[in-house]
Every structure is written in structure tokens, then in C-alpha cells.
Amino acid sequence: MPTTSSSGEGRPARSTRSKRADAQRNQQALLTAAAAVFVTSGVDAPIREIAARAGVGMGTIYRHFPTRADLVVAVYRHQVEACAEAGPALLADAGSPLAALRQWVDLFVDFLVTKHGLANAMQSDSSGFEALHTYFLDRLVPVCAQLLDAAAEAGEITAGTRPYELMRGIGNLCIGRDSDPRYDPRRLVELLLQGLRQPRSS
């Protein structure tokens, strides 16, 4: 009898864990879909467009994120984590540290394009915006530093570039992208990265 009882008690626990894992995966898929829509249509994109891309009903989105600001902040955090986790993975898999840095910067630009409009979405909560900015710096500056250090140690770029300055410069180049379809910051960002390269010895 004890064995049967123990087994019976274990099944609901496993079922609960499984449901939680499914819910977590569904929420991550929803955030990925929302981020993609924000890149193409901005943070004011219709919720129905996000729901269609995620393959869920609008009610599902509102159940997880009652307001647009809740959704925008969740996407922001989701992309910060994705950028932070991508740095070490790219260093391990890319052909060189400089290639890893270039790929990471490309992800970072995608993130910055999505990020525009965050301040407007949180206009009634300036303290929350400041907390998110601190979180952004705490998570991403060390990752950028790791990539820069690896590229410098490999002799691919000139040493001494500060990660915060590079990220700030890229951010400045991305300003205006969401309001002017004729402007693509990626070409200028590429020129910025070329300026980091170690001069070839003559």
C-alpha cells in the first residue's frame, strides 16, 4: 500500500512540473514572436499581429501580459538575456573572436531596434525604466568586454576599446532607425567595427 500511495503522489508532482515547463516554453515562444514583430512593426504593433505570429489567441497574450508595457518590458528582458547568453556561445563556435564580436553586435543592433519605444511604453514609470537600464548594463557590458578582450588577445583589434563606449556608440548610430526607413544603421556599425581592427604591419 505505501508503494502505491507514494507512486500516486509522485504522478501529480511530475505532471505539475511538466505543465510549468510547457508554460515557460510557451511564454518564451510568445516573447520571441513579439520581439520579431517589434523589429518590423515597432512596439505599437497590433496585439493580433503578435498573436498570429506566435500561433496563440489574443487572450493568451493578455493573460500573461495585461498591458502593452508589461509585454514590452518582458520582451526587453528576454532579449537582454538572449544577448548575454549569445556572447560565450559565439566565442566558442565562431571562426575567430572578431567574427564572434561581429555576430554579437548584429544581435545587439536587433535588440536596440526593438528597444526603441520602451520609454514611451513606460512613460508613467521612470523608476522602472531606470532599473531596466541598470539591468541592461549589468548583463551586457561584461559580455561585450569578454568579446573585445578575446579579439584583442588574438591580435584582431587594437586593445583599449571600452565596452560601454562601443555599446553607446552603436546605440547612437541606431537612433532614428524606427522613424526613417531609408536609414540602415548596420552599414555605419560595420564601419565602426572596421575602425577597431588592428592595422596590418607593413
How would residue 182 be classed by pLDDT, with cut points 50, 70 and 90? confident
Higher-pLDDT residue of 122, 30? 30
Domain ranges of the chain: 1-66, 68-202
Which architecture does CATH list for 68-202?
Answer: Orthogonal Bundle (1.10)
Yes or no: say if 174 and 113 are a contact pair by the CB < 8 Å rule. yes
What's the pLDDT tens digit per position in 136-155?
A: 999 999 999 999 999 999 99
What's the pLDDT tens digit per position in 75-104?
A: 889 989 999 999 999 999 999 999 999 999
What pLDDT is recorded for position 12? 57
Full DSSP string of 126-187: HHHHHHHHHHHHHHHHHHHHHHHHHHHHTTSB-TT--HHHHHHHHHHHHTTTTT-TT--HHH
Higher-pLDDT residue of 45, 116? 45
Note the CATH number of domain 1-66.
1.10.10.60
* AA letter at 165: E
Buried b (16+ CB within 10 A) or exposed e, 110-119: bbbbbbbbbe
Distance separating alpha carbons of residues 70 and 76, to the nearest angstrom = 10
Measured in whole angstroms, the distance separating CA 18 from the mean position of its chain's CA atoms is 26
